[in-house]
Structure 1
Amino acid sequence: MRTIRQAGSAELVEKKSRFRCALERVESEEQAREFVARCRREHPGARHHCYAYLVGDDAEVQKSNDDGEPAGTAGMPILRVLRHNELTNTVAVVVRYFGGVLLGSGGLIRAYGSAVSGALEEVGLARREPARLVSVRVDHSTAGRLDNELRSAGREPTGTRYGQSVEFDVPVPEPETDAFERWITETAGGNASVTLGERVFVEVAE
């Protein structure tokens, strides 16, 4: 699966109608609905605020809405573009400012889909790869050097906890966990303990 690299927007003009697509990364349906509501507040003069979103590790939650456009001409074309790009945890809202010229069903389908495709090109995509959150515990005398080695190796910790020892949380792609554990042992001179934690996802830019 993929997600968008960042939030963003793009606009398309078709026969004097403006179609502005806004994209946002979300982690839940509630966040997706909040983004839709925010777009409505930001564009009160738009005739339609059509949207679609996919949420979940495997995009198991999928919703779309035509918001007054003819059935199947707005929300579903938006959703199809998101599906085609294998996206999840993404919401797309296309606000339409009517230009006075009717586009017909085919024209609407093309316009809404094209608006989303254009916005996706603007923001870029990232692959979501399964990983394990690995906890690495070391003493304070080793922590600074190990932190530098992790960052130099492209393994930047997502969390650090300080107590009697120091713990780094490092997301590691699942096929690489054994090799990572051996690397930690060598790098820390045997002065480290490694614990495999929850399954997460890491993002790789495309």
Structure 2
Amino acid sequence: MLSKFHTVYEGGEAEIIEKKSRFIATVLPVTCEEEALEFIESMKKKYWNATHNCYAYVIGERFETQRCSDDGEPQGTAGKPMLDVLLGEEIHNTAVVVTRYFGGTLLGTGGLVRAYSGAVKAGLEASKIITKNWGIKLEIQTDYTGLGKIQYILGQRGITVLDSVYAENVMLIALIPEEMNQEVIAEITEGTNGQAKMTQKESCYFGTVDGEMKVFDTE
């Protein structure tokens, strides 16, 4: 698993005008090629009277699936530039369709590349992009004597506590970024003189959305 990657959490739409041609970019998060193809077909139906509906999508942690289409534009002037924006911004699991309504003036090869690239960038700016981090849920059991030290260690590293149970002892579920895991365990062990008991639970992706921590299914 990648330790972190960027992806679209919520798709958006943006429009740019180049020499009276309209370029409408629609962005959507996707998890598989079937979803991407369904999205592309839906955009073709929505904009059935458009001159072109060009697309690009990337799927997989290492961009294992990459597809694009010029949809009738001169070869290499639409789909590939769109794909290059997604790859350049390192945006994973995302599809984008750029719909063009011809305005009567030819843009030339360079103009088309700039227009389609610019539309995708505008579409991404209109979308909600997040960073997903790979982490481990760590169950920590401690007595009240060690609680303060544990809270201090977690707080210093900005680690989120997902759950806590206060009874005779205290049980915390902390979400530890993978790269910090062993270091945090060692620090808690030292800080509590080995009294805290820790158990590694399931791994997951997590990220911040509108200031709130969210845990995601494994992808």
TM-score, normalization by structure 2: 0.69
| Residue 200 of structure 2 corresponds to residue 195 of structure 1 | yes
Structure 2 counterpart SS, 1:12: strand
Partner of 1:66: 70
- Aligned-pair CA distance for 1:23: 0.8
Q: Distance in 2 between matches of 1:183 and 1:34?
A: 49
Question: As a proportion of its length, which structure holds more strand?
Answer: 2
Aligned twin of 1:7: 11
Cα contact 1:50–1:75 (8 A) shared by 2: yes
Q: Which residue of 66, 82, 88 maps to 1:84?
A: 88
Cα–Cα, structure 1 residues 101 and 119, in superposed 2: closer, same or farther, change >3 Å?
A: same
Contact 1:53 1:89 in 2 (8 A): yes
* Among 115, 128, 132, the residue aligned to 2:135: 132
The answer as to whether partners of 1:59 and 1:87 remain within 8 angstroms in 2 is no
CA spacing shift, 1:197–1:13, aligned 2, 3 Å: same
Moved more, 70-79 or 176-185: 176-185
List alignment gaps of at least 5 residues for structure 2. Answer: 142-150, 164-170, 210-219
C-alpha contact 1:181 1:194 (8 A) present in aligned 2? no
* Cα shift at 1:195: 2.8
Give the TM-score, by structure 1 length: 0.73
Which structure 2 residues correspond to residues 145-184 of structure 1 after superposition, within 5 A? 155=160, 157=162, 170=175, 172-178=176-182
Q: What aligned pairs does 1:90-129 form with structure 2 within 5 A after superposition? A: 90-129=94-133
Identical residues among aligned pairs (%): 37
Q: Report the structure number with the largest CA radius of gyration.
A: 2
Structure-2 change in CA distance of 1:53 and 1:156 (3 Å): farther
- Give the match for residue 48 of structure 1: 52
Aligned residues: 190
List gaps (5 residues or longer) in structure 1. Answer: 139-148, 160-165
Deviations 1:104-154 (A, max 9, x none): 21111111001011122222533333x23426498xxxxxxxxxx99xx76
RMSD (Å), alpha carbons: 3.6
**Alpha-carbon shift at residue 39 of structure 1 (Å):** 1.2
Alpha-carbon spacing, 1:133–1:32, altered in 2? closer, same or farther (3 Å): farther
Q: 1:68 to 1:156 in 2, by over 3 A?
A: farther
- CA gap of 1:31–1:14, structure 2 versus 1, over 3 A, is same
Q: Give the whole-Å Cα distance in 1 for the aligned partners of 2:177 and 2:159.
A: 12
User: Is contact 1:137-1:168 (8 Å) kept?
Assistant: yes
Secondary structure of the structure 1 residue equivalent to 2:207: strand
Tell me, in whole angstroms, the C-alpha distance in 1 between the residues paired with 2:161 and 2:172: 13
Instruction: Name the SS of the counterpart of 1:119 in structure 2.
Output: helix
